[in-house]
C-alpha cells in the first residue's frame, strides 16, 4: 500500500538529516516549482517532494471528483504520503492553497508537524462585507468560465498576473506552460475548490509554530490577507518579502531560502 501511494503521488525523497521537510505545491503547479528552494535544504534535511493526484506526474487514473471536491481530499494526499514514509515532526512548506491544506492537516494530526511555513496563503479568496479576499464572485465565475471555454487563453491570462516581474517575461512564460500541461478538466475542478474554499474558522485551531511569507505585492493573495492569517494563528510570525508576485519560490528563490533558513535558525 505504501509503495502504491508513493507511486500515486510521484514522491521523491532527497537529502540527508534527522528532520524531514515536505514541500507542497500550489494550484496549477507540481513539485518541480520547488527545485531551487528544496535543493538548498538537502544538506541538513531529508527533503520530500510530491504531486497531488491530478497534478504533475501523479497517477491521474486515481483522480476522483468525489474525493477531490474539497481541500480535505488534498489534505488526505498529504497525510497519506507522510504516513507511507512514516514521517513525524516534519517542517511543511506549502505554497498558496497548500498553506491551507497544511493547516487542515496540522489540525487533524498535530503530532505530524513541527513547523508550518506558508508562502502566499489565503483562507478565503472571495470578498465579503467584513472580509477582503481580493476577488468578487463574478471574478471567480469569469475565471472558471474562461477555463472551460478556452483553457490555453486562461493560462496565458493568469500566468503573468500571478507571476508579476514583467522585466523577466520568461517566468510567466514558464508558468503558462506549466498551467497548460495540466488536464483542463481536473485543473478546473481544483480551481473551483481552491477559489471557493473557506478555511477562516479553522485558522484558530492551528497550534504548530507557523511562518507566513508574504510577497509585498501579490495579485492572488494580498498582504491584507496575509495579515489576516497572522492574526488568526496564535504565535505565528509574519514576514513581508521583497519579492513581487504570488510565486516567490520561483521568481525569488534566494530570498525564499533565506527567509526560511532565518526562521528555522531562531
Delimit the domains of the chain by residue range: 2-124+199-265
Could you give the residue numbers annotated as active site? 96, 218, 246
| Pair 13, 47: CB distance under 8 Å | yes
What pLDDT sits at residue 13?
98
pLDDT of the chain, 266 residues: tens digit per residue: 799 999 999 999 999 999 999 999 999 999 999 999 999 999 999 999 999 999 999 999 999 999 999 999 999 999 999 999 999 999 999 999 999 999 999 999 999 999 999 999 999 999 999 999 999 999 999 999 999 999 999 999 999 999 999 999 999 999 999 999 999 999 999 999 999 999 999 999 999 999 999 999 999 999 999 999 999 999 999 999 999 999 999 999 999 999 999 999 99
With 0-12 / 13-18 / 19 or more C-beta atoms within 10 angstroms meaning exposed / middle / buried, residue 18 is exposed
Nearest to 97 by CA among 67, 69, 123, 64: 123
Region 2-124+199-265: CATH code: 3.40.50.1820
d(CA 153, CA 259): 34
Residue 207 contacts by C-beta under 8 Å, 6 or more apart in sequence? Answer: 106, 110, 234
What contacts 24+ positions apart, CB below 8 Å, involve 140-144? 140/195, 140/196, 143/191, 143/195, 144/188, 144/191, 144/192, 144/195
What pLDDT sits at residue 1?
76
From residue 259, alpha-carbon distances to 93, 104, 118, 227, 253 in Å are: 12, 23, 12, 17, 10
- Answer positive or negative: Cα dihedral of 224, 225, 228, 229: negative
Residue 96 contacts by C-beta under 8 Å, 6 or more apart in sequence? Answer: 26, 27, 119, 120, 121, 122, 194, 220, 221, 246
Amino acid at each position: 500500500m505504501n509503495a502504491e501511494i508513493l507511486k500515486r503521488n510521484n514522491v521523491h525523497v532527497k537529502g540527508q538529516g534527522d528532520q524531514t521537510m515536505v514541500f507542497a505545491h500550489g494550484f496549477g503547479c507540481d513539485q518541480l516549482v520547488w527545485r531551487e528552494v528544496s535543493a538548498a535544504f538537502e544538506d541538513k534535511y531529508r527533503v520530500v517532494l510530491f504531486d497531488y493526484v491530478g497534478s504533475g506526474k501523479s497517477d491521474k487514473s486515481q483522480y476522483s471528483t468525489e474525493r477531490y471536491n474539497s481541500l480535505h481530499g488534498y489534505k488526505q494526499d498529504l497525510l497519506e504520503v507522510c504516513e507511507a514514509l512514516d514521517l513525524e515532526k516534519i517542517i511543511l512548506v506549502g505554497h498558496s492553497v497548500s498553506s491551507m491544506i497544511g493547516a487542515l492537516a496540522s489540525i487533524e494530526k498535530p503530532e505530524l508537524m513541527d513547523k508550518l511555513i506558508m508562502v502566499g496563503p489565503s483562507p478565503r479568496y472571495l470578498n465579503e462585507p467584513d472580509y477582503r479576499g481580493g476577488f468578487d464572485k463574478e471574478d471567480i465565475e469569469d475565471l472558471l468560465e474562461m477555463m472551460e471555454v478556452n483553457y490555453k487563453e486562461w493560462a496565458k491570462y493568469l500566468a503573468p498576473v500571478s507571476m508579476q516581474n514583467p522585466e523577466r517575461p520568461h517566468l510567466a512564460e514558464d508558468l503558462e506552460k506549466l498551467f497548460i500541461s495540466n488536464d483542463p478538466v481536473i485543473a478546473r475542478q481544483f480551481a473551483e475548490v481552491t477559489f471557493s474554499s473557506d478555511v477562516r474558522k479553522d485558522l484558530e485551531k492551528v497550534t504548530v509554530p507557523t511562518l507566513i511569507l508574504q510577497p509585498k505585492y501579490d495579485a492572488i493573495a494580498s498582504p491584507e490577507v496575509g495579515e489576516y492569517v497572522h492574526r488568526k494563528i496564535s504565535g505565528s510570525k509574519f514576514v513581508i518579502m521583497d519579492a513581487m508576485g504570488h510565486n516567490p519560490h520561483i521568481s525569488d528563490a534566494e530570498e525564499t531560502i533565506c527567509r526560511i533558513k532565518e526562521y528555522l535558525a531562531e
